[in-house]
A and B are shown apart, each in its own frame.
Chain A
Amino acid sequence: MNIALERLLEAIVATLRNDVIPHVGDAYARGQAVGVIDLINNIGPRIEWARAPLMEAVTEKTALLAAVAPLLPGMEAPGEAAAVERLSSAELAAERDRLDAAIGDALALAHGAGDEGRTALAMIVRHLHDEQARAMKTTRKPLFAEIASGRDDKEK
C-alpha cells in the first residue's frame, strides 16, 4: 500500500461525509458513522505506516544489490547500507524506492548479460517474488463482489 496515509484517511472521511451519511436513514447509525469520522480525525495524527515491513524491505534490497553487483560489470556500487533503525516510515519508504530504482537498473543489465547475468537475474526475480509473497500476507481478499452488488457476503 503506497498511498499516503493522510490522503487515505481524508478520502475515507469525505466518503462517509458525502456519500454515506446523507443516505443513512437511522439516526443512531448516522451518529455512529460520524463517530467513525471523529475517531479517524484523532487517530490520523498519531499513526504512520508500519516500520517493520519497510525496514525488512530496505535490508533485503540492500543485501540483494550487494550480492548481484559483482555479477554485473558496469553496475554502480550499491553504497553504504542505510541505518534503518534510525529512519522514519517516510524515510524508509523513500530509501526502498531508491533501492528499487537501483534494482531496476540491475535488471536491465542482467537481461543483457551472459551466464553471470542469468545468475543475477534469477536472484533478482526471486527477491521480487518473495517481496510480493510477503506483502500478500497482509493483503486481504478484495471485496469486489460485495462492493459491486452492495450486498453482504452472506446474502445471496
Chain B
Amino acid sequence: MSASFDPFDTETIRTRIAGFIAGQGVAEVAVGPLRRFTVGFSWVTFGFRASWREAGGTVERDLILRAGPPNGIFGPYRAFPEFTTLRALAGSGVPVPTVYWYSDETEVLGAPFFICDLVPGEAPIPWTHDGGPAFDDATRVALGSQFVSALAALHSFRWQGTPVAAIGGETDPTRTAAVQVDTWERLLGEWSPSRVPMLEHAAIWLRAHAPVAPRIAIVHGDFRIGNFLVDGGRITAILDWELVRLGDPMEDLGWICLQAWRGRSPHMCHFFTREELCERYAALTGAPVDLRAVRYWEAFGTYKLAVMHYGATHCFEKRGFNDLRMAGMGAQIPRMLLQVESAMERAV
C-alpha cells in the first residue's frame, strides 16, 4: 500500500526510514532525529545520524535522505537514475557522496528517495547581493579549475556496460537535441494553462538548428554554481543529479553559460569566460569543442530554465506546493523570456 509523504512529519519519516534500513541486510539500526534542510526547490532534503551493525562491526554515519515529493516541481520522480549514477561515479574524478540505499516504491515514504553520506561544505550560489562576482580572483581560479575538471571527468566516464546504461536518455547522436526539446515542450504543455508564443517560437528554432552530438555521455542536467559543495577551498561534492541522463555532453557546457548563473559577472558560473571554459574542457577531455554547439545548448538551456519557471508556477498554483519562492519564479517569467530571445540571437 502506498504511504502518503508529509515532509513536516519528520518523526514518521524517521520511523519508516529506520524500518527500511533494517530491511537492507543490516542489524541493530538506530536513526536519530531528522532535520530538514531548506536548500533546493525540488527534492526534500533531511540530515540525520544513523548507526547499524554490518559485517561484524558497528557503522555510524551522518547521512542525507533525499525524497522526491509527489507535488514537487519535476514530480513524479525516480531515485534510480541519480542513485545509480552516483554509485557508478564513486572513486572517479567526479566528487560525489557515497550512496547507500534507494527506493522508487511509494510504500515506504510515499515518495521515491535515496540515502547518502552527508558531505561537508557550503554551496556557493549564483546570486550575489550587488550582482557582482561571487568569488575573489584566487578562489575563482582555484574552484573553477576543479569545477571544469569534475565536468570533464563526468563526460569522460565510460558508462557503456555499466548500470548507468539503464538510466535513460537519448543515445542516438542525431536525436539528443530534438528529444530534449520534445521533453521540455511537453512539460510546458502540462505546466502552462495557456500557450506561450515566445517559447513556441524558441522550440521551432531549436528543432531547426539542432546539432549532432559529438559523442554520448552522462549529462548532469543541472551542472552549475549552486549545485556543488565547497569545504576548505575544495569542491567536495557535485549535487542535484535529478535531471541526469545520457545525452550530448555539450548540453552541460551550454547550461553553465546561462545568464541566470552569472548575474553581471563576465564569467560563466562566476568562473570563466565562455572561451576559457571551452578551451579548458577541450584540453581535459581531449575532445574539441564546437562553440556554435555550446551557444545552441545555451539557448536550449535558457528555454529549459524558462519552462522550469512555468513548472514552479504550476507547482505553487495547482499542486499545493506552498513555497513562495515558486511564486517568485513566476514573477520572473518576462525576464526569462527575454533571455531566451537573446540567447537564440547569440546562437545564430
A→B interface (CB under 8 Å): 1-4, 7-8, 11-12, 14-15, 18, 96-97, 100-101, 103-104, 107-108, 111, 124-125, 128-129, 132-133, 135-136, 139-140, 142-149, 153, 156
Q: Establish whether residues A145 and B125, one from each chain, have CB atoms under 8 Å apart when the complex forms.
A: yes
B200 touching A2 by the CB < 8 A rule? Answer: no
State whether B327 touches A11 (Cβ < 8 A).
yes
Which residues of A have CB within 8 Å of B195?
Answer: 97, 100-101, 104
B266 interfacial contact with A, CB 8 Å: no
Closest to A141 in B: B131
Asked whether A153 and B317 contact (CB < 8 A) given A104-B200, A128-B197, A147-B325, the answer is no
- B residues adjacent to A (C-beta < 8 A): 125, 127-129, 193-198, 200-201, 204, 208, 313, 316-317, 322, 324-325, 327-328, 330-335, 337-338, 341
User: Across the interface, do A107 and B332 meet the contact criterion of CB distance under 8 Å?
Assistant: no
Closest 9 CB pairs of A and B: A135-B334, A97-B194, A145-B127, A144-B127, A132-B334, A104-B195, A103-B197, A128-B198, A104-B200
- Closest partner residue, chain B, to A146 (CB atom): B129
Known: A3-B317, A12-B324, A148-B127. 6 other contacts (CB 8 A): A2-B313, A4-B317, A107-B200, A111-B201, A125-B201, A142-B331
Asked whether A133 and B338 contact (CB < 8 A) given A3-B327, A7-B317, the answer is yes
Q: A101 CA to B196 CA in the complex, in Å?
A: 8
Cα distance, A103 to B196, chains bound together (Å):
9
Residues of A close to B327: CB separation below 8 A: 3, 8, 11
Q: In the complex the two chains form, what is the Cα distance from A146 to B325 in whole Å?
A: 12
Task: Write out the residue numbers on chain B whose beta carbons fall within 8 Å of the beta carbon of A96.
Answer: 194
- Do A15 and B313 touch across chains, with their CB atoms under 8 A apart? no
Residue from A2, A14, A140, A156 within 8 A of B322 (CB atoms): A14
Where chain B touches its partner, the secondary structure class is helix
Q: Are B197 and A100 in contact (CB under 8 A)?
A: yes
Q: In the complex, are the beta carbons of A108 and B330 less than 8 A apart?
A: no
Within the complex, the shortest CB–CB distance from B130 to chain A, in Å, comes to 8
Partner of A107, one of B127, B204, B333: B204
Q: How many angstroms from the CA of A44 to the CA of B123 in the assembled complex?
A: 38
A-chain residues with CB within 8 Å of residue B328 when the two chains form the complex: 142-143, 147
Say whether, besides A2-B313, A15-B324, A101 and B194 are in contact (CB < 8 Å).
Answer: yes
Tell me the minimal C-beta distance from B344 to chain A in angstroms.
10
From known contacts A145-B125, A153-B129, infer whether A139 and B331 are also in contact, taking CB-CB under 8 Å: yes
Cα A100 to Cα B194 with chains together (Å) = 8
A129-B317 in contact given A3-B330, A8-B327 (Cβ < 8 Å): no
Chain B residues positioned under 8 Å from A1 (CB to CB): 330-331
Q: What is the minimal beta-carbon distance from B191 to any residue of chain A, in angstroms? A: 11
Give A141 to B197 CA distance when docked, in angstroms: 24
* CB closest chain-B residue, reference A61: B197
Instruction: List residues of chain B with CB within 8 A of the CB of A111.
Output: 201, 204, 208
**B337 → chain A closest CB, angstroms:** 5
B332 to chain A, nearest CB (A): 5
Complex Cα–Cα for A36 and B341 (A):
39
